[in-house]
Structure 1
Amino acid sequence: MSRVSPRVLGLLATLTLIWGTNWPLFRIALDELPVLTFRSVVLVTGLVVLYAVIRLRGESLAVPPGRWLPLTVASATNIAIWNIATSLAVLYVPSGHASVLAYTMPLWVALIGFVVFGQSLTGRLLLALLIGAGAVVALMAPNFVSYANAPWGLFWGLLAGLSWAIGTYVVKRTAWPGMGLSLTFWQVVIALPPIALGALVIDGLPQHWPSTTVIVTTLYIGAIPMAIGTATWFALVKLLPAQVAALSSITIPIVAVVSGIFLLHEPLSPLQAIAIASTVISLWLALVPR
């Protein structure tokens, strides 16, 4: 494996900080906003930010011929299912633990690559995946004792990881000539209407104005983690092989767990601390040349 370039390392550091600190903020916003309403506001905010940046950079919004179908599938998996499933997961288990479940995405990427595309798994990468899987089990095991609804958190967290893995392959295995930030922009455009309609039908119109803290938190999530973070992720997917790009995300739940401890006073047992250390080892095996 060749050494990771400084550009990739910079993108990884940016994404880890933005997405890792994002998870505890979900819990703050969802204390006052229903899931679909929260996600609708986040997507609208992200859309505005992406459009402004695209125009400032003079990029085209054109979609290449024959790309609308994969773009729609990518939108459904990367944006729609991911946003809903992750929001539901943090309602049932601590936000940091929910993030670890969602970031089982590298395991799903490896499995899909092996079963569907016949990709080989090196011993080093297989070991990284096994250690990562063990970390997930160690993080979730205490929750089944402490939280009665933990199985729902497990379901939604793993669904988020699976859908993200599918979306990663769709983006990686499709050519997107001329599409930069517009790749993220159009995915958000496609995902927004069904989520907004669901918010109107299921959540209904808001009965009260949320607090200033929740408003600021929701707008921040839309502008930075949603818009900038998602665009950064797709840039990484284009620069790295699918399996390595997936494993590069494994540091994000570490930041999420630590953020949840400090911001929301979420629990951290010795077993869970070992699990966090295991994710670091897993990332090292995947990214650092032997």
Structure 2
Amino acid sequence: MSRVSPKVLALLGALTLVWGTNWPLFRIALDELPVFTFRALVLSSAVIMLTTILLIRRESFAVPKGKWPALILASAMNIGIWNIATSLAVLYIPSGHASVLAYTMPLWVAVLGFVVFGQKLTGRLLAAIAIGAAAVAALMIPNFKSYASAPLGLFWGLLAGFCWAVGTFVVKRTNWSGMGLSLTFWQVLITLPPIALGALVFDGLPKHWPSTQALAATIYTGAIPMALGTATWFTLVKLLPAQVAALSSIAIPIVAIVSGILLLKEPLSALQAVAIGSTVISLWLALVPGRQR
């Protein structure tokens, strides 16, 4: 495995920070907004941000011929089902628990890559996956009682991770000739109508205006983590092997835990400390090449 460039490491660090620290803000917004309404507002904010950037940079909105089926599938997997499945998961289990299940995505990528695409797994990458799985397990162990009493929460959380893995392969294995930021724009835009319809059906029209704090958290979530963070993620998927890109996401729930400790004064358990250590080792194995003999 070749050495990961400083540019990729910088993108990875920025994405991990942005997506990881967003979870406390996510909770702040959901204290006042129903889940589907929150998702619809986030996607709307993301569309506005991405449209503005594309217009300022004078980038093309065009989709290459014959790529619409792959684009729609990627939209459904990466953003549509992800948003719906995680939303349904938090109805049955705490949102933090749901996020841990959703970030089992790297394990699904490894399984799909091996079973469906016949991709080989090096011993180093297998070790990284195994240790990453241990990190996820360490985060899940305290919540097994919740999962046993709420199997639907477990199902929706794991479905989110699985669909994200499928979407990662769709993006990785499709030639998006000429598409840069517009790849993210179209995925968000395609997803917005069904999420907005879900907000009207399940949440109804808003009955009150959210506080400035909740509204700011919602707009920020759409403009930065959803718009720019997702664009950064797709860039990483193009630059890295699918398994390595997927493993890089393991650090995100760890940052979410740490930010919850710092911002929300949440306790740090021994298992969470083990998970943080396991994640560091897993990422080192995945991103730092071994010595050549």
What's the TM-score, normalizing by structure 1?
A: 0.95
Label 1:149 to 1:21 Cα distance change in 2 as closer, same or farther (>3 A): farther
Contact 1:98 1:153 in 2 (8 A): yes
Q: What displacement does 1:109 show?
A: 0.5
Contact 2:80 2:195 in 1 (8 A): yes
Task: Tell me the alpha carbon deviations over residues 33-91 of structure 1, each in whole angstroms, 9 at most, x when there is no partner.
Answer: 11111000000000000000011111100000000000000000101111223344445
Give secondary structure in 2 for the equivalent of 1:184. Answer: helix
Is residue 143 of structure 1 aligned with residue 110 of structure 2? no
User: Residues of 2 paired with 1:240 and 1:34: CA distance?
Assistant: 36
Q: What displacement does 1:147 show?
A: 7.8
Q: What displacement does 1:92 show?
A: 4.9
Contact 1:85 1:156 in 2 (8 A): yes
Number of the residue aligned with 1:192: 192
Q: What displacement does 1:98 show?
A: 3.4
Structure 1 window deviating more from structure 2 (184-193 vs 90-99): it is 90-99
Is residue 107 of structure 1 aligned with residue 99 of structure 2? no
Q: What displacement does 1:100 show?
A: 2.8
Number of the residue aligned with 2:160: 160
Contact 1:94 1:260 in 2 (8 A): no
User: Residues of 1 paired with 2:67 and 2:267: CA distance?
Assistant: 45
Number of the residue aligned with 1:237: 237
What's the TM-score, normalizing by structure 2?
A: 0.94
Label 1:262 to 1:89 Cα distance change in 2 as closer, same or farther (>3 A): farther
Which consecutive aligned stretches of 4+ in structure 1 deviate over 6 angstroms post-superposition? Answer: none
Letter in structure 2 aligned against 1:9? L
Unaligned runs of 5+ in 1: none
| % identical equivalent positions | 76
Number of the residue aligned with 1:48: 48
Residues 25-44 of structure 1 mapped to structure 2, 5 A cutoff: 25-44=25-44
Contact 2:19 2:229 in 1 (8 A): yes
Number of the residue aligned with 1:10: 10
Number of the residue aligned with 1:118: 118
Contact 1:93 1:143 in 2 (8 A): no
Letter in structure 1 aligned against 2:31? D
Contact 1:102 1:157 in 2 (8 A): yes
Letter in structure 2 aligned against 1:195? I
User: Residues of 2 paired with 1:276 and 1:150: CA distance?
Assistant: 26
Unaligned runs of 5+ in 2: none
Give secondary structure in 2 for the equivalent of 1:141. Answer: helix
Q: What displacement does 1:233 show?
A: 0.4
Is residue 74 of structure 1 aligned with residue 74 of structure 2? yes
User: Residues of 1 paired with 2:146 and 2:267: CA distance?
Assistant: 10
Q: What displacement does 1:273 show?
A: 1.2
Letter in structure 2 aligned against 1:221? T
Number of the residue aligned with 1:21: 21
- Computed over aligned residues only, the root mean square deviation of the Cα atoms, in angstroms, reads 1.7
Number of the residue aligned with 2:202: 202
User: Residues of 2 paired with 1:111 and 1:197: CA distance?
Assistant: 34
Number of the residue aligned with 1:61: 61
Q: What displacement does 1:212 show?
A: 1.3
Letter in structure 2 aligned against 1:37? T
Contact 2:64 2:177 in 1 (8 A): yes
Q: What displacement does 1:272 show?
A: 2.0
Contact 2:132 2:247 in 1 (8 A): no
Label 1:98 to 1:266 Cα distance change in 2 as closer, same or farther (>3 A): farther
Label 1:107 to 1:50 Cα distance change in 2 as closer, same or farther (>3 A): same
Task: Tell me the alpha carbon deviations over residues 99-120 of structure 1, each in whole angstroms, 9 at most, x when there is no partner.
Answer: 3322211110010000100111
Number of the residue aligned with 1:127: 127
Structure 1 window deviating more from structure 2 (146-155 vs 230-239): it is 146-155
Number of the residue aligned with 1:276: 276
Contact 2:147 2:154 in 1 (8 A): no
Contact 2:85 2:160 in 1 (8 A): yes
Q: How many residues align?
A: 290
Q: What displacement does 1:129 show?
A: 1.0
Letter in structure 2 aligned against 1:135? A
Contact 2:101 2:154 in 1 (8 A): yes
Give secondary structure in 2 for the equivalent of 1:21. Answer: helix
